[in-house]
């Protein structure tokens, strides 16, 4: 393994006692300092995968390597990895200082000194009160709550409590921070604020973040790399742009953003049929192959009826703030269009598609060639 990968999951499977396989053939490489997000619907195995990285669950098969060393069976407290949970798991009877300092009081450091015989000796010592105070104060500064040491947990808002949970998780300088839906309990406004704060913290700390969410917008906003999962399996790994612009499976196209998805055939070289017309596409799949055709609503260009490759009748128009969502009936198909221009219900309109706005996936294998 190259040293640039801080963590690597190789052929990981997790089967629970009831024989249920929650994670299947999971392979992932994470670079030092990356912000990686596991994204997928409820029950797809995100938390189970995170728990195996943390050491709370042991893989049934496969290996987890940290800087090239197999840590699959190492207990959680021996891994340089901390976790922030959705429910903050703070100690309500301790003040903020003691909540954050809790782990540090148990921590030891190696101290080297010369003994009476002049020999160099190393021994383990607890951190001094001053060292602990300095580390807590620095952690509070990072989460933007300087001077909160003496406050009681019960006086904090949800967002502040989550920041304390993050301060506690970063205070002993882990190599990897795992975050399991950390913003799930916050209202939308606070979530958005905390997303930006977490991104800033990630940049400042320079440590690797592995983040779990089922919120696609959150994943696309925050991550360097997104791992889209369904049913215990990886559907696609890529940058937010790759995941959005080049979905590799119908599942990804459907789960991330909105998509028009149809079944069709390759009717020529780089040519696919869609709503009864032939369209040029970039995908070179065998002529005659049954395919799923994926078109993002914003890639459908609305034109005058005579200028469109296909036509349709407007069924409904919904104002969405930045754009209109226009639903059009075209033959037996429904086409969803996202446009900054509005249209009138009952009007006939034309529609055009550019080749790079059409994604084609082989229907039987659910595998595309981009
Ligand atoms: P959510 O977004 O709802 O938290 P998730 O993607 O994190 O979901 P997991 O919590 O990893 O999903 O669960 C994956 C599957 O494994 C689920 O079907 C769950 O019921 C099952 N599962 C999790 N833990 C256990 C367990 N200890 N024993 C048996 N099945 C389990």
The rounded distance, in Å, linking the Cα atoms of 354 and 356 is 6
- Give me the interface pTM, i.e. the ipTM: 0.96
Mutate-to-test residue for ligand 1 from 12, 20, 52, highest number of ligand atoms within 8 A of CB: 20
Reduce the DSSP state of residue 141 to 3 states and report it.
helix
Q: 79-117 burial, b for 16+ CB within 10 Å, e for fewer?
A: bebbbbbbebebeeeebbbebbbeebeeeeeeeeeeeee
Atom of ligand 1 nearest to the CA of 50: 11
Atom of ligand 1 nearest to the CA of 40: 6
Compute the distance from residue 261 Cα to the ligand 1 centre, in Å: 29
This prediction has a pTM of 0.86
The rounded distance, in Å, linking the Cα atoms of 370 and 357 is 12
Compute the distance from residue 22 Cα to the ligand 1 centre, in Å: 7
Q: DSSP letters of 149-193?
A: TT-BGGGS-HHHHHHHHHHHHHTT--SEEEEESTTTTS-HHHHHH
Contact between 262 and 274 (Cβ < 8 Å)? yes
Which CATH architecture best describes the domain 5-80+174-250? 3-Layer(aba) Sandwich (3.40)
Task: Output helix, strand, coil percentages for the chain, rounded to the nearest 5.
Answer: 25, 40, 35
> Each residue's pLDDT tens digit in the chain (370 positions)?
445 799 999 999 999 988 899 999 999 999 999 999 999 999 999 999 999 999 999 999 999 999 999 999 899 988 999 999 887 678 888 899 999 998 888 777 788 888 888 888 888 888 889 999 999 999 999 888 998 999 998 888 888 898 899 999 999 889 999 999 998 888 888 888 889 989 998 998 899 999 999 999 999 999 999 999 999 999 999 999 999 988 889 999 999 988 999 988 999 999 998 888 899 999 889 999 999 999 999 999 999 999 999 999 999 999 999 999 999 999 889 999 999 999 999 999 999 999 999 999 988 654 544 4
**Residue spans per domain, the chain:** 5-80+174-250, 259-368
Which CATH number fits the domain 259-368, given the four candidates 3.20.20.70, 3.40.980.10, 2.40.50.140, 2.70.98.40? 2.40.50.140
Which residue's CA is the nearest one to ligand 1's atom 19?
Answer: 43
Which residue's CA is the nearest one to ligand 1's atom 20?
Answer: 43
Across 49-139, the runs of DSSP E, i.e. the strands, are 61-66, 69-70, 81-84, 108-114, 120-126
């Amino acid at each position: 393994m190259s040293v640039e990968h801080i963590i690597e999951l190789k052929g990981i499977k997790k089967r629970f006692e009831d024989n249920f396989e929650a994670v299947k053939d999971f392979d992932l490489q994470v670079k030092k300092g990356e912000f990686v997000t596991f994204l997928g619907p409820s029950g797809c195995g995100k938390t189970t995968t995170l728990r195996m990285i943390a050491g709370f669950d042991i893989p049934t098969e496969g290996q987890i390597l940290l800087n090239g060393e197999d840590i699959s069976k190492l207990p959680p407290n021996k891994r340089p990895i901390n976790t922030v949970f959705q429910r903050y798991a703070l100690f309500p009877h301790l003040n903020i200082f003691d909540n954050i300092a809790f782990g540090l009081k148990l921590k030891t450091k190696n101290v080297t000194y010369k003994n009476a015989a002049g020999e160099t000796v190393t021994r383990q010592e607890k951190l001094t009160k001053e060292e602990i105070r300095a580390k807590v104060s620095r952690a509070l500064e990072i989460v933007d709550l300087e001077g909160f040491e003496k406050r009681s947990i019960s006086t904090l808002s949800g967002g502040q409590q989550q920041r304390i949970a993050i301060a506690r998780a970063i205070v002993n300088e882990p190599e990897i921070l795992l975050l399991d839906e950390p913003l799930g309990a916050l209202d939308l406004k606070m979530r958005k604020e905390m997303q930006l704060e977490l991104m800033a913290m990630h940049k400042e700390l320079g440590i690797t973040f592995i983040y779990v969410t089922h919120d696609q917008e959150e994943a696309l906003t925050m991550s360097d790399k997104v791992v889209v999962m369904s049913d215990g399996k990886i559907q696609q790994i890529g940058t937010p742009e790759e995941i959005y612009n080049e979905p590799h499976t119908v599942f990804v196209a459907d789960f991330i953003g909105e998509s028009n998805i149809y079944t069709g055939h390759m009717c020529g070289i780089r040519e696919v049929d869609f709503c009864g017309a032939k369209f040029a596409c970039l995908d070179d799949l065998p002529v005659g192959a049954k395919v799923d055709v994926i078109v993002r609503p914003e890639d459908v260009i609305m034109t005058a009826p005579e200028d469109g490759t296909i036509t349709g009748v407007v069924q409904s128009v919904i104002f969405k703030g930045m754009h209109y969502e226009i639903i059009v009936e075209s033959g037996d198909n429904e086409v969803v269009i996202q446009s900054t221009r509005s249209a009138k219900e009952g009007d006939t309109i034309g529609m055009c598609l550019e080749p790079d706005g059409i994604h084609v996936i082989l229907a039987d294998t659910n595998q595309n060639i981009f």
